[in-house]
Amino acid sequence: MQASYYQIALLAGIGVLALFGLIPKVFRYFSRTEPQRELIGRIRHLDSRALRIQSHFDGLLASIPAKIIFIDAENRRVVAVSHMLAAELGYGSAGACCSSLDALFSNEEDGSEVLPRLRSVLRSSTPPVDTFDDTWVVNPSGTEAVQRKLSVRLNSDAGRDNKWFLAVIECQPVAIPQDTGLSAHEEVRLLRAALTERNLSRALKTIADYSKKALFWESHVGISVVDSGSGALELVCDTGFHRELQKAFARIPLLYGKAVNTTSFLLGKELCVDLSRPGTVPGPLVELLVRHDIGFWRSFPLCGLDGKVLGSLDILGRNDLAENTDDERLATMLHFATAIIERHKSAEVVQETVRIERLIKAVNQALVLISGDGGEARLMEVLDLLVAFFGFDLCAFELWVRTTDSEAFRKLAVDPDSPSVPSIPASSVTDHLVNYFSVSTEGSGTLESKYQCRFLDETDAVLREVFEATDAEKPRGVIFPMVVEGFPEGFLIARSERRLDAHELSVISSVVPSLAGALERQRLLQKLIEKALFDQLTGLYNRAGIEELLSSELVRSQRYGNPLSVMVFDIDHFKSVNDTYGHDAGDRVLKEVALRVKDSMRSVDFVGRWGGEEFLVILAETPLSNAAIAAEGVRKTVERGEYGIDRLVTVSVGVAAFHEDSHVDSLVKRADLALYEAKRSGRNRVVVEDGSN
């Protein structure tokens, strides 16, 4: 029983040794020889000494008043750093700084911002003993990123085969930028997205937000772009401006001294102004900024490749904005903002050019066929195109064209026959504008001379009197004369509540030549029509013209069954008038008879010269009985006239009516037979086709 207790104890001891892994050590201990046990003891003694040496070395590093890195020359590994260097860079211990630095030295890709020059020097086969500048960006213990500019003096240990390098570091603190929370790859992707963004406001907002986060995290950033039309800096985006500031920065006129950004824009250089400093130019904007606790205003002009200033990047802050700025990153932000504005400006120019080309093409298409009554509609269509291009809220357009007799200009309206359509004498406006453009603007270089227009205002007494005399609207806006080879065809008025800028004037002036050319074509075409269809002596329709009208009226009467009559009259003894008083008197008699007859007819009737002293009158929707009455009125009208000769002038009239089988020749033939009967019966009388007087 007692022996079993010994066995149990032995087994328990073996179990404990096995549990703690001591069995192999026990076997090795009893299996070692005496020299082996002596060697192990010496090794333990050396380890104890090494620990004491390491402790003394750590103490030495702690007491060295310098920033030093010890480097293994053979393996290019960081062995130790001084405590002063670790403390300078924000590490809790020299060991942590050494481990971090050694890891970065051994990983070239991740450690690209840590002592790149030193690492490059150490990679060479024979590193030079030299002094050079270097940089170190480190983020110890998860704190904010710290950037240091370094001066490195590299020494080698010549006493023991150059086995060690000693790098003595001198640190100069520079800007400590706010951590953007983005990797370098993500930053590039963000800026690239800003460059490709189609919306200018969103693209610049990305740059403004990034600038605030990376450079000016305690300030406000705003980006303004110049509006060439209004001549002002317009705020495009900001990073949290107060509503009052947004309203104040929305549009600032480009005047020197008006604001910091406008002055910087005009000078083309950076300005930083202490708003609290005595002598700062006072003004509502400065007072507003001070009221919102803004002490400094820093403005950077955004200059394009051609040197032209496109806008400004403004920084508003409480503290001095000229200190602690990462100049390289700031230059990058300014470059990206300028590139974005230039890209969008170029795109706007291309788009606007396309719009203008489309407008001119549409105008020319509308004016290709312009003649007669349809020409008025096409001219109105051009005005609609202009209004659609500029917008209803900017311009209202009026087109004034010459009247048929060229004695006046009338305002183009939907209904040209309306009695309310205003007109103005052609001579007064023409003389005034021609004299103005030939003398006043010659070589002046003004917008008026460049775009051949005239700004209408209350100071133009001539135009004001002309417009007011016709009860037209008072002159405002711009007037564009449409002159072709010295002949004023008309003028276009663009009425606007504000002064039109150079771009708007350029667009309108590019359309004016098309309008002037169309009006010239219409005028010349009208002359050709008059020559082809009208008698040059009397102004009545000639035989071709009146015959064409009669053919149309016959078709209408056949279609609708309307009555139609014609009268043919001849001046009695006209040959004797020519023989007695001469052809001048004969021509005067012809013109006076034509005028008196035309004035006595209705507006729906047509009067034409059929040939020689013979005339034809078309009486639309008139039965034969009424036509006979009208013919008698014509006879009496001519008989009562004064013609400048000492004899009576009379006419003989023949009247005929439309029949279902009538055509032009048969109808005129019947009326002509009635006229012959009137002459045979004694002249100065009316005969209808049935033979009755």
Strand 606-611: give its sheet, edge to edge. 606-611, 614-620, 564-571, 651-657, 686-688
At 658, which amino acid appears? F
What are the E-state strand segments in 33-145? 67-72, 77-81, 131-138
Q: Which residue has the tokens 């904005």?
A: 321
CA distance 294 to 319: 8
SS (H, E, C) 578-613: HHHHCHHHHHHHHHHHHHHHHHHCCCCCEEEEEECC
Asked whether the whole model's pTM tops 0.85, one would answer: no
**Token couple for 394:** 């900017």
Helix 327-366 to helix 502-533 angle (10° resolution) is 10
H-only helix segments in 318-472:
327-366, 372-390, 426-435, 447-451, 461-469
Q: What are phi and psi of 564, to 5 degrees?
A: -150, 135
What distances in angstroms separate CA 576 from CA 583, 587, 592, one per listed residue? Answer: 10, 13, 17
The pLDDT assigned to 143 comes to 47
Q: What are phi and psi of 324, to 5 degrees?
A: 50, 55
Q: Quick check: helix, strand or coil at residue 307?
A: coil
CA distance 78 to 164: 10
Give, as one character, the DSSP assignment of residue 312: E
Contact 567, 597 (CB under 8 A): no
Q: By C-alpha distance, which of 584, 583, 595, 580 is closest to 638?
A: 595
The pLDDT assigned to 23 comes to 54
Sequence length of the chain is 693
CA distance 590 to 574: 9
Q: By C-alpha distance, which of 279, 303, 282, 300 is closest to 291?
A: 282
Helix 34-63 to helix 94-106 angle (10° resolution) is 100
Return averaged pLDDT per consecutive 10 residues of the chain, 693 residues in all: 58 58 56 60 63 61 71 75 76 76 65 68 69 67 56 63 67 50 67 82 87 77 84 88 88 86 88 76 78 85 86 84 65 86 86 89 82 71 87 78 76 59 70 57 65 73 61 68 82 82 88 87 80 89 92 90 94 92 93 94 93 94 93 94 91 92 90 93 91 54
Which helix (H) or strand (E) segment holds residue 556: the answer is helix 543-560
Contact 608, 542 (CB under 8 A): yes
Contact 530, 524 (CB under 8 A): no
Contact 652, 685 (CB under 8 A): yes
Cα four-point dihedral sign 84, 88, 93, 97: negative
CA angle 644, 647, 650 (to 5 degrees): 100
- Helix and strand numbers (H, E) in the chain are 22, 22
The pLDDT assigned to 461 comes to 63
Contact 590, 643 (CB under 8 A): no
DSSP line for 451-479: HT-EEE-TT-HHHHHHHHHTTPPPP-EEE
Delineate the domains of the chain, giving CATH numbers in brackets. 2-50 (no CATH), 64-173 (3.30.450.20), 184-349 (3.30.450.40), 367-531 (3.30.450.40), 534-688 (3.30.70.270)
The pLDDT assigned to 609 comes to 94
CA distance 482 to 480: 6
DSSP line for 136-195: EEE-GGG---EEEEEEEEEEE-GGGTT-EEEEEEEEEE---PPP-S--HHHHHHHHHHHH
Q: Which residues, other chains included, contact 568 with Cβ-Cβ below 8 Å and sequence gap of 6+?
A: 610, 614, 615, 616, 617, 653, 654, 668, 671, 672, 674, 675
Count CB-CB contacts under 10 A for residue 188. 11
Count of CA atoms in the C-beta half-sphere (13 A) of 95: 5
Burial (CB count within 10 angstroms: exposed 0-12, middle 13-18, buried 19+), residue 414: exposed
Q: What is the CA radius of gyration of the chain?
A: 51
